[in-house]
Structure 1
């Protein structure tokens, strides 16, 4: 998930039914100041296609020498700024890996799901090789998803399209959905199966209590979930 400017509002697309109300929504609070005041260098540890058509890429940064940066990632839904050579503007990528605190403190890297758009900084990032250095913010931005606000929900519907699944992976793998009293359904919209990332993780997500409903473009227009998905911008 890529933004050209800092996210002013980080929205968790959740619809839910509570015990006493028909519906509610959880929205993260506004992000801190949009531009980092400090930058640091970190090496790329992995770059590889995330989809069959190579429209999305997995990118990982080795942060074993950046303890403070790792520690600043405390919630799913946070972003990291990138500044790439010759790029006219920084880009902000949602962190797809779970916060270190939810992985027994073993995480020494950040993972990202990047949409490769030719001629953009994101494409340059996808063209890097392991060992290449990139400039990133000295800390993550945003407070992430405030999932505590829906702690009493019986049913939660999560919507994501294209690379927007990136922060949802972080959300799921940090323990969201493991409450046996809450049913969580993930509607994941893509153009076709070749553009669907994280298929290899679906079994694990389902074991965590997430019901996954793939939604393809023709279903968004003509299918039973068209009304729900029509309110979302299609990312690819």
Structure 2
């Protein structure tokens, strides 16, 4: 681990640090991000990254005190382009489905699990996983699920069809499914909570998992209730592809996705891989459970 001290950070660096905290889901806490003009103290690993991008890099290994430079690939270095909202409709209670035309910015959408950043009226950027599969015809249109909570999300959800926003190119490494080929890993367990279903929908619709050549593919989908569950109407088509979808509703005492998985069990963890998207606590609990059942940690796939 390393300690980063930033003296008198400018507003743009402070903003980047805040977005780093949000995207990593508590790589640091908000209390560690200071007001402008105050020192910042962050504890992190030199290998930490956000969506596949390194947070920091050493400028000189030989220096007595290691000097670190921020990798603001998600901030000031982005080439922002105008994007148009083609459609904005309610996907579930408190969740908006936004169809966004980002034009040539979609060129780099090659894998499920990638994301874009969106700014509304010059405000702070928000990070949104892409829910639509990569488009081989490159029409430049992507689908997002936006939880109507927080400054940027609320501003985005308030916009109607035809409104313009700013969007980054498609970013991130996506799910590295090639690590777990179907002939060696016949079992895939997928975990998603809330709007974490976005990149999972992309993964399913793109058929990147090659479901028909696997024996056991399960999706544990955790939400509060069915009215707060996006893509509920698409579940039958996913099941028709051979995916066993297990809904876990926390409002009726079903617990969490890890609880449902533990009840079902796993026959042979050495021949299983997993895909995780959701809250940090869920991902940590599921990871521990998978590893205890013999799943190789390298075969637990995240999209960042």
> TM-score higher than 0.5 here?
yes
Q: Give the whole-Å Cα distance in 1 for the aligned partners of 2:257 and 2:78.
A: 47
- Residue 79 of structure 1 contacts residue 140 of structure 1 at CA under 8 Å; is this kept in 2? yes
SS at match of 1:96: coil
Partner of 1:159: 191
Alignment of 1:79-94 (within 5 A): 79-85=115-121, 87=123, 89-94=124-129
Matched, 1:168 2:168: no
The answer for unaligned runs of 5 or more in structure 2 is 1-17, 26-49, 55-72, 264-277, 284-304
Correspondence for 1:99 among 114, 117, 134: 134
Listed as ranges, the gaps of 5+ residues in structure 1 are 10-27
Distance 1:62 1:85, change over 3 A: same
Segment drifting more, 32-41 vs 89-98: 32-41
Number of matched pairs: 202
1:121 alignment counterpart? 152
Q: Say which of 272, 282, 301 aligns to 1:232.
A: 282
> Which structure carries more relative contact order (alpha carbon 8 Å, separation 6+)?
1
Show the counterpart of 2:170: 140
2-side partners of 1:215 and 1:85: how far apart? 37
1:89-116 alpha-carbon deviations (Å, 9 max, x no partner)? 2111000000013xxx264410000100
Report the Cα offset of residue 204 of structure 1. 1.4
CA RMSD after TM alignment: 2.9
How far has the Cα of 1:4 moved from its partner? 4.2
Q: What residue number does 2:99 align with?
A: 60
Aligned mates of 1:179, 1:97 — CA distance in 2 = 20
SS of corresponding position for 2:132? coil
Cα displacement string for residues 169-202 of structure 1 (whole angstroms, at most 9, x for unaligned residues) = 0000011243323421000001111111101111
> Is residue 2:149 matched to residue 1:149?
no
Q: Which structure is larger by alpha-carbon Rg, 1 or 2?
A: 2
Distance between the aligned counterparts of 2:240 and 2:118, measured in 1?
A: 34
The TM-score with structure 1 as length reference comes to 0.76
Q: CA 1:107 to 1:86, structure 2 compared with 1: closer, same or farther past 3 Å? A: closer
Asked whether the equivalents of residues 222 and 257 of structure 2 are also in contact (C-alpha less than 8 Å), the reply is no
C-alpha displacement of 1:29: 7.3
Kept in 2, the 8 Å contact 1:177–1:184? The answer is no
Which deviations, in whole Å up to 9, do the C-alpha atoms of 1:48-83 show, x marking residues without a partner?
Answer: 1001x3x111001124xx23x122100001010111
Is contact 1:7-1:142 (8 Å) kept? no
- Tell me what 2:37 maps to: none
Deviations 1:205-235 (A, max 9, x none): 11222110000112116995275899507xx
- Deviation by residue 1:105-155 (Cα, 9 ceiling, x = unmatched): 2644100001001x5210110110111000111x11111000011112121
Are residues 59 and 221 of structure 1, via their aligned partners in 2, closer, same or farther at CA, if it must alter by over 3 Å?
A: closer
User: Normalising by the residue count of structure 2, what TM-score does the alignment of the two structures yield?
Assistant: 0.60
CA distance in 1, matches of 2:110, 2:248: 30
Are the equivalent residues in 2 in contact too, given 1:42–1:135 (CA < 8 A)?
Answer: yes
1 or 2, which has the higher helix percentage?
A: 2
Query: In structure 1, how many angstroms separate the alpha carbons of the residues matched to 2:228 and 2:165?
Result: 26
Q: Is the 8 A contact 1:47 1:59 kept in 2?
A: yes
8 Å CA contact 2:220, 2:257 repeated in 1: no
Equivalent residue, structure 2, for 1:216? 249
